[in-house]
Amino acid sequence: MNPTLDKEASYFLTCMKDGFTQEQKEAFALWIKQSPLHEKAFEDVKKLTSFYRALPQNKQTEVIEHVHAEIKRERIFKRRRVLAMAASLLIFFCAISYERYLAFFVPHHYSTQKERQHIILPDDSTVLLDAKTKASIRCSSSKREVLLEKGKVLLSVTKNPDKPFWVQTGGISIKVLGTRFEVEHYDDHVDISVLEGIVSVQKGEEHLLATLTKGEKLSYLATSDRILLQKVAPEMIASWKEGVLRFQNETLYSAIDAFSYYHDLNISLQPELENQRISGSFAIDEVDKFLYALSKIYTLNVRKIGDTLYIQKKQRKNN
């Protein structure tokens, strides 16, 4: 971008929108004929102005606030310079927004290993990927879409009735307008838990499975084509974002499975203990404290032999 040409093009475009005076009309005719670069600059300004009008209202407001701040800082009083500067600043901030939107017109692919990854979309929606997660994200002019191949994501969606937000995973389609929710996908199992707002869950294009609100969870098992609806405390949803696993009356088998997701654990659990219920909060990185709690709070025997951890009932001592 040529700052001088852009300012001149911005000035003439502003004059055109307000209605040319005869003097301005003649000046524009001379300017546009001087060089092909002038004509190109003018067309670029028109395109970016059109793009600005297509931005969501919150983004338009953000751009205008930037423009007003810059004008106030410069203390420019002459009308022509004010018009030129305002228009050129508008173009500058529109160009920044345009680059952000354009970047997501093609799918972006993400794959995490041990780390979490935070992604901010052009409309300020956010996607937080947990460890061992694969996903693709695309934002077009008509919709926003996340394809979750596996793993966990926490989504905070900016409301836009004209551009729905879709999550596709495991044969399930999730449609939202503005909300905050978690999606988990492992093998043939999908869980959807809502923190805020309303989420529509469907199979295929038209088969509605459920409409979820705050504190509701849907579990879908593809192999048996079954769904389970249940209530869940909001603080239990996506606790991994804080580096914590929270269990509320969870089976010991499920709790160990949750830790195994983050650690290479080889655990042998005595079959009759699989359905023992446990509760508590444990740091993901402190699996040793979790195992210690099992031995002290739940009076279980945890032994390591070779690379395997054996969890069994403690034997009662004979008197």
CATH number for the domain harbouring residue 303? 3.55.50.30
| Beta strand segments in 124-242, E | 126-129, 134-139, 144-156, 165-169, 172-176, 180-186, 189-196, 199-203, 207-212, 216-221, 226-231
Q: d(Cα 115, Cα 110) in Å, to the nearest integer? A: 12
Q: d(Cα 87, Cα 148) in Å, to the nearest integer? A: 41
Task: Using the 3D structure, point to which of 208, 234, 260 is the last residue of a domain.
Answer: 234
Task: Looking at the structure, tell me whether residues 125 and 88 fall in a common domain.
Answer: no
The bridge status of strand 226-231 relative to strand 267-269 is unpaired
Task: Looking at the structure, tell me whether residues 177 and 131 fall in a common domain.
Answer: yes
Range of the domain at 19: 3-103
Q: d(Cα 251, Cα 228) in Å, to the nearest integer? A: 17
Task: Looking at the structure, tell me whether residues 269 and 221 fall in a common domain.
Answer: no
Task: Using the 3D structure, point to which of 52, 75, 103 is the last residue of a domain.
Answer: 103
pLDDT single digits (tens) 188-209: 899 999 999 999 999 977 789 9
Question: pLDDT-based confidence at 56, cuts 50/70/90?
Answer: low
Instruction: Give buried/exposed letters for 37-56 (b at 16+ CB in 10 A, else e).
Output: ebeebbebbeebbebbeebb
Considering its fold, how many domains does the chain have in total? 3
Report yes or no: 15 and 7 within 8 Å, Cβ to Cβ.
Answer: no
Is the confidence at residue 95, as pLDDT, over 90? no
Report yes or no: 14 and 88 within 8 Å, Cβ to Cβ.
Answer: no
Task: Using the 3D structure, point to which of 62, 79, 103 is the last residue of a domain.
Answer: 103
Q: d(Cα 153, Cα 124) in Å, to the nearest integer? A: 16
- Percent of the chain with pLDDT strictly greater than 70: 78
Task: Looking at the structure, tell me whether residues 72 and 163 fall in a common domain.
Answer: no
Number of C-beta neighbours around residue 150 at 10 A? 15
Amino acid 55: pLDDT:
56
Task: Looking at the structure, tell me whether residues 224 and 248 fall in a common domain.
Answer: no
What is the tally of helices (H) and strands (E) in the chain?
7, 18
Domain membership of residue 319 (yes or no) is: no
Task: Looking at the structure, tell me whether residues 68 and 16 fall in a common domain.
Answer: yes
Report yes or no: 186 and 169 within 8 Å, Cβ to Cβ.
Answer: no
Identify which of 172, 166, 176 has the alpha carbon closest to the alpha carbon of residue 186. Answer: 172
Mean pLDDT of the chain: 82
Q: Which residue would you say has higher pLDDT here, 309 or 83?
A: 309
Domain membership of residue 221 (yes or no) is: yes
pLDDT single digits (tens) 217-248: 999 998 898 999 999 999 999 999 999 999 99
CATH of residue 212's domain is 2.60.120.1440
Is the confidence at residue 74, as pLDDT, over 90? no
Task: Looking at the structure, tell me whether residues 217 and 127 fall in a common domain.
Answer: yes
Domain membership of residue 318 (yes or no) is: no
Half-sphere exposure of 13 (CA within 13 A, CB side): 26
Amino acid 308: pLDDT:
87
Task: Looking at the structure, tell me whether residues 121 and 51 fall in a common domain.
Answer: no
Report yes or no: 85 and 74 within 8 Å, Cβ to Cβ.
Answer: yes
